[in-house]
Amino acid sequence: MKSLHLNKGRESSLLRRHPWIFSGAIQRVAGKPQAGETISVIDASGKAIASAAYSPSSQIRARVWSFDTEEAIDEAFFKRRLEAAIKRRKRLLDDPQRSGCRIVYAESDELPGLIVDRYGDYLVCQFFFVGVEAWKSVIVSLLKDLFPCKGIYERSDAAVRSREGLEPMQGVLWGEEPPEIVQINEHGRLYGLSIAHGHKTGFYLDQFDNREIVRKLCEGKSVLNCFAYTGGFGVAALQGGATHVVNVDSSGSALEFARGNFARNGFNEEQYELITANVFDLLREYKSQGRVFEVIVLDPPKFAETKAQFKKAARAYKDIALQASALLSPGGLLVSFSCSGAIDLPLFQKITADAVLDAGRTGQIIHYLHQAQDHPVGLPFPESLYLKGLVSILD
Ligand code: SAH
């Protein structure tokens, strides 16, 4: 087998089962492997320690398939890994009130770069690494047998593909093309989503548990749902008995989709508003108007894509938390999130604390939130924890 030889001492993260091999860890690569080809990883003493897939274009030059050097990387290997991921989630997948669920979460399921989400009768895949790209047809063929469905669709259209030297790809991989709107059931809430045009694979499945927490906090409350997208938190708030929900997003088409989701759940137009606006501006406008809310949800897009953008992102998170704090009633709840991997929880908590203080308020954190359990964090792979949230009660 072709091989990748590590510099002295650079095997230590692999011994802790972290699956990434950065270019700087490599002494030499022998045998001219192709992109995606399986290679043997050899430490500086000459001992084989893992099998990996080679990625010549990426700074992450290889990602490990297996730490068992005897294990063949073949169809049976992918079958075992996919079966294990499905088995881990059996309880979630059997729940009729969870018809949207992530089935495979990349490195956390020991399938680097592969995402598989289930929306009712359809599976949606993302291939973000040349390793899984090389095995795409095998993976798709296994998935249709392991997880009976009407169709498998690809949404490998995110920018991360370019770091792997891969073009964006989108379309049917197997079976039927999904209808323009697919409906899922989440705790009795119905959400329509577009597999072809929605964000990510169509919906923010990672907020599953947090929408449920918001539902429970909203009884009798007026709610401002910022960065509302297709109304995920807004529908949950009304289901939980909110008196009124204002939903704000810069995308008018996302809000039109939200309108469909409110209707799907039997809510009428007196119970909610849809406002196409920039949240940063609208919060200031509401402040000048003296508007008050009892719950405010802030679920912005990833402000920091990379570590380099982290200062700018920290300022943006602080700004929205500060402006929102000024609109909350005494005893009001600030539900704030960050999905930027570059901003960790201690920093996010500090940003939020500073923002609340600068708004002239005090408060306590009553819930620490994170991504849903179908997006698990591999113990050797802490990078997979990206979604952080806080529920703070302001005095
Ligand atoms: N809370 C949603 C997901 C939010 S995704 C859910 O649970 O489904 C982030 C959303 O923020 C996107 O819909 C995007 O259109 C919107 N957005 C991005 N920047 C914005 C801005 N400055 N003002 C308003 N909306 C913005």
- Give which of 85, 14, 104 is closest to 52, Cα–Cα: 14
Cα 199 versus chain centre, distance: 10
CATH number at residue 341: 3.40.50.150
Q: Are 104 and 111 in contact (CB under 8 A)?
A: yes
Instruction: Give pLDDT, residue 128.
Output: 97
355 and 285 within one domain: yes
230 and 157 within one domain: no
CATH number at residue 178: 3.30.750.80
Last residue of a domain, one of 182, 214, 240: 182
Q: Which of 204, 235, 239, 249 to mutate to test the pocket of ligand 1 (most atoms within 8 A of CB)?
A: 249
Q: What is the dihedral sign for C-alpha 179, 102, 136, 132? A: positive
Q: Are 257 and 268 in contact (CB under 8 A)?
A: no
104 and 36 within one domain: no
Measured distance between the N- and C-terminal CA atoms of the chain, rounded to whole angstroms? 64
Rounded to whole angstroms, the Cα distance separating 91 from 238 reads 27
**Residue 190 located in a structural domain:** no
Instruction: Give pLDDT, residue 305.
Output: 78
Instruction: Give pLDDT, residue 192.
Output: 98
Rounded to whole angstroms, the Cα distance separating 82 from 88 reads 10
Cα angle value 191/383/27 (rounded, 5°): 140
Instruction: Give pLDDT, residue 252.
Output: 98
Question: How many structural domains comprise the chain?
Answer: 3
Please tell me if the CB atom of residue 23 comes closer than 6 angstroms to any atom of ligand 1: no
302 and 389 within one domain: yes
Cα angle value 342/347/348 (rounded, 5°): 85
**What's the one-letter identity of residue 1?**
M
344 and 372 within one domain: yes
Rounded to whole angstroms, the Cα distance separating 109 from 93 reads 16
pTM for the structure as a whole: 0.97
| Residue 225 CA, ligand 1 centroid: distance in Å | 10
**Which residues are known to be catalytic?**
339
| Residue 254 CA, ligand 1 centroid: distance in Å | 9
Instruction: Give pLDDT, residue 11.
Output: 97
CATH number at residue 27: 2.30.130.10
Please tell me if the CB atom of residue 227 comes closer than 6 angstroms to any atom of ligand 1: yes
Instruction: Give pLDDT, residue 374.
Output: 98
**Residue 223 located in a structural domain:** yes
165 and 259 within one domain: no
| Residue 255 CA, ligand 1 centroid: distance in Å | 10
Domain of 238 in residue numbering reads as 204-394
290 and 256 within one domain: yes
The closest-lying atom of ligand 1 relative to the alpha carbon of residue 231 is 8
The closest-lying atom of ligand 1 relative to the alpha carbon of residue 279 is 23
Q: What is the 3-state secondary structure (H, E, C) of the chain?
A: CCEEEECCCCCHHHHCCCCEEEHHHEEEEECCCCCCCEEEEECCCCCEEEEEEECCCCCEEEEEEECCCCCCCCHHHHHHHHHHHHHHCHHHHCCCCECEEEEEEHHHHCCCCEEEEEECCEEEEEECCHHHHHCHHHHHHHHHHHCCCCEEEEEECCCHHHHCCCCCEEEEEEECCCCCCEEEEECCEEEEECCCCCCCCCCCHHHHHHHHHHHHHCCCCEEEEECCCCCHHHHHHHHCCCCEEEEEECCHHHHHHHHHHHHHCCCCCCCEEEEECCHHHHHHHHHHHCCCEEEEEECCCCCCCCHHHHHHHHHHHHHHHHHHHCCEEEEEEEEEEECCCCCCHHHHHHHHHHHHHHCCCCEEEEEEEECCCCCCCCCCCHHHCCCEEEEEEEC
**Residue 187 located in a structural domain:** no
Instruction: Give pLDDT, residue 14.
Output: 98
Please tell me if the CB atom of residue 43 comes closer than 6 angstroms to any atom of ligand 1: no
Instruction: Give pLDDT, residue 1.
Output: 81
338 and 250 within one domain: yes
Q: pLDDT (tens digit, 9 = 90+) per residue, 17-53? A: 999 999 999 999 999 999 999 999 999 999 999 999 9
Last residue of a domain, one of 28, 45, 66: 66
Please tell me if the CB atom of residue 249 comes closer than 6 angstroms to any atom of ligand 1: yes
Q: What is the largest CA-CA distance in the chain?
A: 71
148 and 224 within one domain: no
| Residue 205 CA, ligand 1 centroid: distance in Å | 15
**Residue 192 located in a structural domain:** no
Ranges in the chain, pLDDT < 70: none
**Residue 191 located in a structural domain:** no
**Residue 193 located in a structural domain:** no
133 and 223 within one domain: no
Cα 383 versus chain centre, distance: 12
The closest-lying atom of ligand 1 relative to the alpha carbon of residue 225 is 1
| Residue 8 CA, ligand 1 centroid: distance in Å | 46
Please tell me if the CB atom of residue 202 comes closer than 6 angstroms to any atom of ligand 1: no
- For the record, the structure tokens of 219 come out as 């009884």
Please tell me if the CB atom of residue 251 comes closer than 6 angstroms to any atom of ligand 1: yes
Please tell me if the CB atom of residue 276 comes closer than 6 angstroms to any atom of ligand 1: no
Q: Are 313 and 340 in contact (CB under 8 A)?
A: yes
CB-CB neighbours of 341 under 10 Å? 18
The closest-lying atom of ligand 1 relative to the alpha carbon of residue 210 is 7
Please tell me if the CB atom of residue 253 comes closer than 6 angstroms to any atom of ligand 1: no
* 246 beta partners: 224, 273
